[in-house]
Amino acid sequence: MKINFIILVLFVILVSCSTSQIVTNGTKAQEIKELAVFKPLTTVYYIDRGNSGNYNQALSDSLQRSLTTLIDTLLKPSVKLKTLNIDLITNSKVEFELVKITNTLEKSPFIDKVKIPSYLDSLMVTQNVDYALCVVHSGFTRSNSNYASNIAGGLLLGIATLGMVYTVPIMGSSMMYCFILDHKKGNIAFYRTSKMTDTNPIKYQKKQLEKIFKGYFNISKEDNFYY
């Protein structure tokens, strides 16, 4: 997944955060007595020069570990969690299927029509679980020097155009998809997303997870601090 990408410098005023509405197939959180958890799929790009970023393994791994811990902390008070024991080859196949599901969910407004891939369904049968939580994340961040140089470039552009054109670079972005596979019904039990722009994806993952789970799972008050 080490691919380059270009991030356009956009016009932004404030840090923005949006969380989608909760969508379910009718399954209530109280019906989920045990919830298996797939290892979060995390992809973080790092921009050091210009606006071209590269996949950063260290940041991606760090975010994955952090999300794993946060999921355990936030959900344990309301549901029994089960860690899936799968090898690296199986996990790679799982990640491939999770990306496919995420792409489908982005296009389909009816999650009950989104079927669980046969590979994941078979894996759930083998692991003896009816519900499995999946978190897919994609984001980027910049080095401080890169952000500063882009700010300076925007100011110079503003001066050169007499204030008619002024650009502000985005410091970072964090997009999180969360869905629960329902083996009993063969589709998606729960789906919600959270998007934050102009922020470091490593810094605010707790806030995003809380907003995603709020209203469905009963998160303990001591772990709640919504912004």
pLDDT band at 3 (very low <50, low <70, confident <90, very high): very low
> Does 219 have pLDDT greater than 70?
yes
Q: Angle 29-31-35 (CA atoms, 0-180°, nearest 5)? A: 70
Name the phi and psi angles at 119, rounded to 5: -65, -45
**Whole-angstrom distance between the N-terminal and C-terminal Cα of the chain?**
33
Tokens at 8, concatenated: 């356009």
Distance CA 4, CA 127 (A): 36
What is the enclosing helix (H) or strand (E) of 156? helix 144-160
Residue 82 CB contacts under 8 Å (≥ 6 apart), including other chains = 34, 35, 36, 37, 127, 129
Distance CA 127, CA 133 (A): 14
Tokens at 31, concatenated: 């019906």
Distance CA 21, CA 10 (A): 26
Q: Is the dihedral of CA 152, 154, 157, 162 positive or negative?
A: negative
Maximum average pLDDT range among 15-24, 40-49, 132-141? 132-141
pLDDT band at 98 (very low <50, low <70, confident <90, very high): very high
Tokens at 118, concatenated: 């046969």
pTM for the model stands at 0.81
Residue 7, helix vs strand vs coil: coil
Q: Angle 86-89-91 (CA atoms, 0-180°, nearest 5)? A: 50
pLDDT band at 177 (very low <50, low <70, confident <90, very high): very high
| Per-residue model confidence as pLDDT tens digits over 25-73 | 999 999 999 999 999 999 998 887 767 778 999 999 999 999 999 999 9
